[in-house]
Amino acid sequence: MRIEQWVYTIPLRLRSLFHRVRLGTELDEELRDHIDRQIEDNLARGMGAEEARLAARRAFGNAAVVREQTQDTWSWSGIELLLNDVRFAARTLLRTRGFASIAILVMALGIGANVALFAIVRSVLLNPLPYTDPNRLVRLYENVSVGGLNIPDCASAGGMYLEWKQHNRTLADMAIAGWMDYNLSSAGNQPPEVVRAGNLSWSMLPLLGVRPALGRNFTADDDKPSANPTVLLSWGLWRRRFGGDPTIVNKTILLDAVPHTVIGVMPPNSSLPIISTPTTQLWTPIFEAKRTDLMKMLDEHEFEAIGRLKPGVTEAQAVADLTLITHRIHDQHLDDSYVAFGASSRPLLDSTVGRMKTPLYALLAATGCVLLIACLNVANLLVARAAARRREQAIRAALGGSKLRLLRQHLMESLLICATGGTLGFFLAASVLRWFVAVRHDVPRADSIAVDGVVAAFTLGLVLLCAAFAGTVSLLSMRGEQALIALRESSRGQSAGMARKRLRSVLLSLEVGLTVVLLIDAGLLLKSYAQLRATDLGCLTDNVLKMDVSLPTARYKGTSSIADFFSSFVDRVRNLPGIQAAGLVFPGVPGDGQGSNDNFTIIEHPPLPPGQADVANNRWCDPGYFAALGIPLLQGRSFSSNQRPGHSTEIIISESFARQFFPGENPIGKHMTTFN
Amino acid sequence: MSKPSDLVQGTLDLLILKILALQPLHGWALSQRLKQISGEVLQVSDGSLYPALHKLEQQGWIQAEWKPTENNRRAKFYSLTRLGRRHLEKEAANWERISTAISSVVRLTEV
C-alpha cells in the first residue's frame, strides 16, 4: 500500500518541487474559475452584476487564506517556508554588514579552532594504537636512584631487558627499540645523507602485529651481533630514494660504509606510531646494529622496552613480576648505583602521547572560550533584533502567525551566522591541520591527523549547538512577554525592555570577561615564549651555524684517525670564506639539552660517604670551541694543542661549577677523576 | 447559529471521495453537489474545499486534469484513482461502523 502510494505521488512531488511557480498560477486560475462560475450562476438566478460578484466572494471566503492553506498542503511546503526564512534572515544580516561579518568571523575562528583541536585530540590522544589488541601493550620502565635522585620512569638498559625477557612470567612477549643515525652512502646520482633509523629487536613487529608491506621482518638470526647486516626501509625512503623499486628486496645499500641487505619495506610511517617518527627512514635489528657490550650493560639506560601482557594478567601483576627480577639484579650490583632497583609501566598509548594531554586540553579550554564568546556575540545580536521586531512579532502573533514559525525565524539568523562561520571554520581548520602535520614533527602521531567524516560531523554538531545556544540565551529576553503589552505604546512595555537591557549587559560582561581571560592567557604565553627566546645561553647565538657530522665507523677505526679527520676538517672550515671562527664540540652546543653527564671526584677534597657521588654535565671540545661561541675565559688558560687522543689531561670548568664545588678555593691546578 | 461539529467537518474528505467516485468534477461543480446533497448541515465556505482537494491529490487518492469546458474555457477536473477507490471503501466501512455504534448509544440515552 505504501509503495503503491509512493508510485502515485512521486511525479506529483517532483512537480511540486520543480514547478512551484506554474503550480501557483494554476491554483490562481482554478480559484478564479470557481468564482467566475459562481458569479455566472448568481447572474442566472437573476442577481444584479455587483450583487452577484459580492455574493460569490462571500460564499467563497478569504481567497488569500484559501490560497495559502492550499499551498501548505503541497509537498515541500515546509522546505519552501524554510527557504523563505533563510532569505529573510540573510536580508536582515546584509543590512548590518559590518556586524554580521565580524560575528561570522569570530564564529569561524571559534569553530575552526575547536574543530582543528578536536581532530588533533582525536588522532593523537583518543584513537587506539593501530596495532593488534593495543590495550594489552605496555611500555616498561626501570626505576633508578642515583645520588639520592629518584628517576621513576627511566629508559631501559639492554642487560636488564635481557634479564626481564628471560625470567618474566607475566608477559606474552617483549621487544626493545633504540634510535641511531646512519650515513646512507651516495648511489648513482643520489647524494649521501644522514638518515634517522630505528633499531628494533626482531620480536617488535610480531609483538605489535605489524607486517612489512614488502619483503619480510627481521628473524632471530638477523638480530645477533654476528649476523649479516639487514635493513627494513620506510615507505617514504623507498619511494623517494629508490623510486618505489619493486625489486628492492635482497638488494644491498651502504649504511656507515657497511653493506646492508634490504629485507623489506614497511607500510607508511603514519600507521606505525611508537616505532617511527615522521623522520624515521629505516630500521635495523638492534642487537646487530648496536655495540655488543652496550646491549649487555645494566646501567646504560638508552632503550624503550615494550611488552604484551599475557591474557588475564594485569599491569600491576606484570610490574610486580618484573620488580622481583630487578631486585635480584640490583642486589648483585650494589656497587653500581645506575643499576635499576625496580620496574614500572604505563599503557603504551599513554607513554607516547601522555605528555601531550595537558597542553592539548589547555588549548581546548582556550578555544572553548573563543567559541563561547562567539556564541554570546550572536546571542547579543538576536536580543537586539528581538527588541527591534517586538511590535512586528506581536502583530503577527495576534493575526494568528504560528508560534513555531515566529521562533524559527528568530533562530534562523543565529543558524545562518553559525553555519557560515562553521563552513569557513571547517576550511580554516583543514588548512591549519595540513600546516600542523607538515611542521610539528615533535608531536607524536601527528602524521595520523586527518580531516574525515567524523571531523565534518563534529563541525556540523558544533554549528547546531552554537545556533541553539545563542538562540536559547536570546529567548530569555522574550520570557513572559505579552503580545498585548508589546502592541501598546512604549510606557507599558518598559518592564520587558528593562529585562532585555539587563540580559544584554550580562551577555556583554560575560564576553568581556572571557576575552580578558583569553588575553591574559595569551599574554602570559607570549611572555614565557619571549623569555625563553631571551634566555642567556652564555654564548653567541646570532650568526652561529651548527652542523652534525658523523663518521662511518667501518672506515674510521681507532680514535687517532677520527681525531685526524676532525682536526683537518675544522681547519678547512676555518679557511672557508665568510667563516670567522669554528670549533668542535661533543655531544652538543649549549641549548641542545643536557647532553651527557658523569660522576666525578675531586682528588684534593675528602672522599664522600659511600653511595654518594657528585654529578656534572660534560662536553668534549677542541681549543677553538670557546672562541667560536664567544665564551670568555675568566681564569687560567685554554686547552694546549698537545691534547691528543688517549693523552688528554686538561679540564676547563664553568663559573657555576667553580662556585659549587670549589667555594673559596682557587680551582686552577686541582685534579679530578671521572668514572669514564 | 450553532457551528457544524468537528465530526462532520472531518468527514469532508470522505464526502469528496464519494462524490468523485460517481463522476469526475471540477471544483465549483463539486461544491454545488456538496450543497445539494448535504443541504445546510455542512456549513463550509466554498473556498475551504480547495485545501482538502489538494491534500487528497498529494496523497494520491484523487488526480487532477485540465479539460476544456463550454465557451472555450477550461477547468481542473478531479477524479478518483484506484488507490482512492480502495481508500474510500475502507473509510466508508469505518464510518458505517462508527456511526452505527454512536447512534445506538445516542438512542440509549434518550430512552
Amino acid B4: pLDDT? 44
Q: Which of A62-76, A287-301, A493-507 has the lowest mean pLDDT?
A: A493-507
Amino acid A489: pLDDT? 47
Same domain, residue pair A575 and A466: no
B54 in reach of chain A (CB within 8 A): yes
A192 phi, psi to nearest 5 deg: -70, 150
Q: Where are the domains of chain B?
A: 6-110
Across the interface, whether the CB atoms of A8 and B83 are under 8 A apart is answered yes
Quick one: closest CA in A to B30, which residue?
A34
Amino acid B55: pLDDT? 86
Query: Number of A:B CB contacts under 8 A?
Result: 72
Same domain, residue pair A274 and A194: yes
Burial class (CB in 10 A: 0-12, 13-18, 19+), A360: middle
* Residue A652 DSSP SS3: coil
Nearest CB neighbour to B48, from listed A41, A61, A72: A61
pLDDT band at residue A492, thresholds of 50, 70 and 90? very low
Amino acid B9: pLDDT? 53
Mutation for testing the A interface, residue in B43, B46, B78, B82 having most A CBs under 10 Å: B46
Between helix B27-38 and helix A20-44 the angle, nearest 10°, is 50
Q: Which of A448-457, A477-486, A648-657, B35-44 has the lowest mean pLDDT?
A: A477-486
pLDDT averaged over every residue in chain A: 86
Per-residue pLDDT for A480 more than 90? no
pLDDT (tens digit, 9 = 90+) per residue, A9-18?
777 777 777 7
Per-residue pLDDT for A410 more than 80? no
Same domain, residue pair A199 and A301: yes
Mean pLDDT is highest, among A382-391, A461-470, B9-18, for A461-470
Q: Which of A64-73, A153-162, A258-267 has the lowest mean pLDDT?
A: A64-73
Same domain, residue pair A120 and A158: no
Same domain, residue pair A318 and A204: yes
Q: What average pLDDT does the segment A481-503 reach?
A: 60
Please state, in angstroms and rounded to a whole number, the distance separating the CA atoms of residues A302 and A177.
9
Nearest to B24 by CA among B71, B110, B84: B84
Q: Check: CB of residue A105 under 8 Å from CB of residue A421.
A: yes
Give the CATH number of domain B6-110; options: 2.40.40.20, 1.10.10.10, 1.25.40.10, 3.90.180.10. 1.10.10.10
Please state, in angstroms and rounded to a whole number, the distance separating the CA atoms of residues B7 and A663.
107
Domain that holds residue A397: 97-125+359-530
Nearest CB neighbour to B54, from listed A13, A59, A74: A74
Q: Check: CB of residue A103 under 8 Å from CB of residue A272.
A: no
Q: What average pLDDT does the segment A433-438 reach?
A: 89
Residues of B whose CB is below 8 A from A55: none
Element (H, E) at A601: strand A596-602
Please state, in angstroms and rounded to a whole number, the distance separating the CA atoms of residues A74 and A20.
10
Across the interface, whether the CB atoms of A61 and B47 are under 8 A apart is answered yes
Per-residue pLDDT for A126 more than 50? yes
Query: Residue A544: inside a domain, yes or no?
Result: no
pLDDT (tens digit, 9 = 90+) per residue, A552-596?
777 787 888 888 898 899 999 999 999 999 999 888 888 877 677
Q: What average pLDDT does the segment A11-36 reach?
A: 83
pLDDT tens for chain B, 111 residues long, are 334 445 555 678 888 899 999 999 999 999 888 888 877 666 677 888 898 898 888 888 898 899 888 878 889 999 999 888 998 999 889 888 988 888 888 887 655
pLDDT (tens digit, 9 = 90+) per residue, A206-219?
999 999 999 999 99
pLDDT band at residue A269, thresholds of 50, 70 and 90? confident
Query: Residue A550: inside a domain, yes or no?
Result: no
Same domain, residue pair A497 and A571: no
Amino acid B2: pLDDT? 37
Burial class (CB in 10 A: 0-12, 13-18, 19+), A366: middle
Per-residue pLDDT for A311 more than 70? yes
Amino acid A491: pLDDT? 45
Cell for A450?
A: 586527518
Cell for B105?
A: 448509544
Rounded to 10 degrees, the C-alpha dihedral B10/B13/B16/B17 comes to: -140
Same domain, residue pair A585 and A657: yes
Number of domains in chain A: 4
Q: What average pLDDT does the segment A123-132 reach?
A: 89
B75 in reach of chain A (CB within 8 A): yes
Q: Check: CB of residue A589 under 8 Å from CB of residue A576.
A: no
